[in-house]
A and B are shown apart, each in its own frame.
Chain A
Amino acid sequence: MTDTAVLLKERTSRIRAAIALQEHDKVPIVGNLGFWPVKYQNKYTMQEAFYDIDVMGESYEFALKRWNQWDALTTSVTSRAPLLDAMGSMRYIIPGREISPYSDYQHPDQSFMEASEYDELIKDPVRFQANVILPRVCKRIAKNDLYETIKAIAKVITYSRQLQEKSSMYWQEWAQKYAVSPLMCSVFIVPVDAIIDHYRGFNQGLLDVKLRPEKLIEAAEALMDHLVNSAIAGIPPGLDYPVLYNPQHVSPFISPKDYEKVYWPFYKRMVDVFTERGHTVWTVFEGAQDQHLEKLQELPRGKCVAHFEKTDLERAKKFLGGRICIAGGMPTSILAKGSPQDVEEQVAKVMKLFADEPGFIMCADGGLNAAKPENIDAWFKAMDKYGHLGGKLQLLEQVEIQQAAAMDGVKQRLITPWDAVRDDFGEIKGDEEIIKRYWEQLEIEVLGLVNMILQA
C-alpha cells in the first residue's frame, strides 16, 4: 500500500469508528465543499461550473491542493445544468440562466400537482410522476411529441455517462493524490419529502400535512418501494463502506404529532431496510429539529449519522449520545462571516461538549458556500488542538453488503416485470429464461437513470 492508500484507509476507518461509536484517535472532519471551491479559486463563474464538470474538477483540485486534511467529502462533483436543459427542466434556478452567473443555484417553491390528483398518484406513483408531473416540469418531455422526448432522453443518457466517467476519474485521482474520497454512495428521500419537494411544493405540501394527512400517508405508502429501490439502484458496486445520504427538508417544519403520523414511520422503515443490508445512513436534519430528538433514539444504534444544521447540539447529545453518531458543529455563518478566532472558539466549545463521545463527526452545518479561506485554516488548526480523543484507531476491512437482507417487505419493483410483457412475445421458440434474464437485468440497471430523469 502507498502512503496515501494507508492514509485513506485510516480516514475511512476513523469515520466508520465514529459512526459505530467505537474508540478512535481523533474526531473526523468531513467537508461538504459543494460549489465552494469554484468561489475559492475565483477563476470561473458559477455558471461555468454548472455547465462544465472540468471547471468543477479544476476548482476542486485547486482547493484540495491547499486543504487535503478532510477525512472524507460529502460532496458530489457534478455539473448538471446541460442535463436539465436537455430535458427543459424548469425546477431549479440555474446561475447564468435565471439569475446572475455568480449566484448559487436555487430551488424555488413550485407546485406541479393539484390536491385532487392524490388518488392518481396513489394508484401508480411512478407512472404518475412520468406521465403527469414530468411533462409539467420539463418542456422537452412532451406528451404529444415523441421525437422531442426521445432526443431529450438520448442527450440525458449520453451526458450523464460522460459526467459519471469524469467524476469517477477525478475521485480516483484525488484518492491517490490527497487521500480523500466521497463518503456518499447514493441518496434516499423519505416519501413525504419526495411528494412535497417534487410534486406539491412546500406551501401546498405543508398544508396537506394539516388538511389531508390521510392522502399524504397513502401516497407515501405507494411511493415507498420505488424510493427504496431507486436508492439501492444508485449504489455503485465494490465500495468499502457505502453510506446513503438522506437530506430531510420537511421534518423541521412539522410538529412531533404530525411527524409521527406522516414522516417518521416511513423514515424508520427505510433506515431499517438499508442498515440491515449493511449500509450506513447519513441524514441531514435541516433547520432546527429539536422537537424530534426523542423519536430519533429509536434509530438503530451505531449505524446512522445525525447531521444537524440548527438543532441544539447539547440537546442532541443528551438524547442521542452513545446511540447515534452526531455530525455538525460548525455553522456556515461563522465560516463565512466570522473571524479565525470565532472559528477556534466554536471548535473549542463543541469539542468540550463531545470530549467523552466517540460518536461525533465535525463538519459544517451546511455547504461551505461563502467560507473565508483563513477560516478553513483556523478550523483545521483548531481541530488539531482540540480534536484528539486519545484512543487507538483500528483499520477496518470492507463491509459485506447483504444484497437480499431486509428486502422481504419491499417489492423489487421492476419498471415492467417480465410477466407483464411475456404475452407480447407470443410463442417463444427457444429458451424463455435467457430473454427474461436480459429483460429484467436491464430493467434493474436503468432504474437509477430512470429515477434521475423522473426527478429532473
Chain B
Amino acid sequence: MSLETLTDKIIDLELEEVLVEVKKLIANQVEPLEILAACRAGMEGVGKRFESGEYYVADLMLAGNIFQEVMQILNPVLNEGDNVQAKSTGKVLIATVRDDIHDIGKNLVKSMLAANGFEVIDLGVNVDPVVICQEIKRHNPDILALSCLLTSTLEGIEDTIAEVTKQGLREKVKIIVGGAPVTAKLAADFGADAYGADAYAAVPQCQALLEGKSRD
C-alpha cells in the first residue's frame, strides 16, 4: 500500500477502498499532510478525466463525496500534535445570487475548490448583493464566486458586481461567475475577471486568478 495507490484509487472513484487505504496509512503513521497531498493529487486526476470527457458531473459528485469522507477521517489527525494545518491555496467566497435558490452547481464548485486546497466560505443561495458586500468586508476573500441557474437571475450577478464596485471593494477581490445561462461573453460584459464554464473549470480559473493577484 502506498500514497500512489491512494491517489490511483481516488482517480478510479473507489470509495470503499480509498477509505480503507487512508485508515491504513494513518495506522502506519504516514504524515497526514502527505496523505492529504496524495488525495489532492487524486482529485487533480479526477479533474483531468473530467476535462478529457471521460468523467461527467456524476463522477465529480462521487469524487467530492469521497474527498469529504476522507477529510472526516483525516481532520482529527491533521489537527493533533505537531501537525501544521494544511495551508490553504486561497480564500473563496461563494454564493448563488439573489432570487435564485439553485445550489447544485455552486456546491459542486465548492467541493472541487475545497479538494484543491482552497478555503471556501459558502453564503448559500438567494444572497442579496448588499449581504455579499458585507461578507467580503468580513472575510476579506481573494475570490468571489457567483452562480445562477436561471436566465432571469442573471441580473443578480450583474447587480452584485455593480454593488461590489459601488462599495469600493472591486479592487480587493477577483470575481469568477458561472451557471447554466452564463457565457464567456456575458461574464466579460458583467465585468467579471473569469468565467467557469463547467463544474471543474472554476478550479484552474481560480488558480490563475490567484497567480494574477499575486502579480498585481
On A, residues with C-beta under 8 Å from B are 39, 93, 98-100, 102-104, 106, 108-109, 202-203, 206-207, 209-211, 252-255, 258, 287, 291, 310, 331-333, 336-337, 366-367, 369-370
Contact = CB atoms under 8 A, between A and B. Distances in A.
Contact of A336 (B13, B57, B126, B151): B151
- Most chain A beta-carbon contacts within 10 A, residue among B99, B100, B151: B151
A433 B126 CA distance: 58
Contacts of B100: 106
Given A108-B101, A109-B103, A370-B154, A210 B13 contact: yes
A254 B55 CA distance: 8
Contacts of B99: 99-100, 102-104
The interface residues of chain A, by DSSP majority, are classed as: mixed
A211 B15 CA distance: 9
Interface in B183-204: 183, 186, 189
A99 B126 contact: yes
Given A99-B126, A255-B58, A287-B180, A106 B53 contact: no
B101 A106 contact: yes
B95 to A, nearest CB: 16
Nearest to A342: B185
Contact of B53 (A203, A252, A291): A291
A255 B101 CA distance: 26
Given A203-B61, A206-B61, A211-B62, A366 B56 contact: no
B154 A210 contact: no
A210 B62 contact: yes
Interface in B167-216: 180-183, 186, 189
B78 interface: no
B65 interface: yes
Contact of A254 (B58, B152, B154, B181): B58
Contacts of A253: 56-58
Contacts of B189: 337
Given A108-B102, A202-B104, A333-B181, A369 B59 contact: no
B13 A255 contact: no
Interface residues of B, number: 32
B91 to A, nearest CB: 25
A379 to B, nearest CB: 15
Which 8 A/B pairs are nearest by Cβ-Cβ distance? A253-B57, A206-B58, A103-B99, A370-B152, A369-B151, A332-B151, A210-B62, A255-B56
Given A209-B58, A210-B13, A370-B154, A106 B104 contact: no
A405 B180 CA distance: 40
A180 B151 CA distance: 25
Nearest to B149: A106
Contacts of A209: 58
Interface of B: 13, 15, 53-59, 61-62, 65, 99-104, 107, 126, 150-155, 180-183, 186, 189
Contact of A207 (B54, B61, B107, B151): B61
B151 A258 contact: no
Contacts of A203: 61, 104, 107
Contacts of A102: 99
A255 B54 contact: yes
Contacts of A100: 99
Contacts of B59: 210, 255
B135 to A, nearest CB: 20
Nearest to A366: B151
A258 B56 CA distance: 10
Nearest to B150: A104
Contact of A103 (B61, B151, B152): B152
- Most chain B beta-carbon contacts within 10 A, residue among A100, A255, A258, A369: A255
Contacts of B153: 103-104
Nearest to A332: B151
B188 to A, nearest CB: 12
B74 to A, nearest CB: 21
A206 B54 CA distance: 16
A106 B102 contact: yes
A255 B55 contact: yes
Given A254-B57, A370-B155, 8 more contacts: A93-B101, A106-B100, A209-B58, A254-B58, A255-B56, A258-B58, A331-B183, A333-B182
Contact of B181 (A99, A252, A332): A332
B142 to A, nearest CB: 27
Contacts of A210: 13, 58-59, 61-62
- Most chain B beta-carbon contacts within 10 A, residue among A39, A102, A106, A252: A106
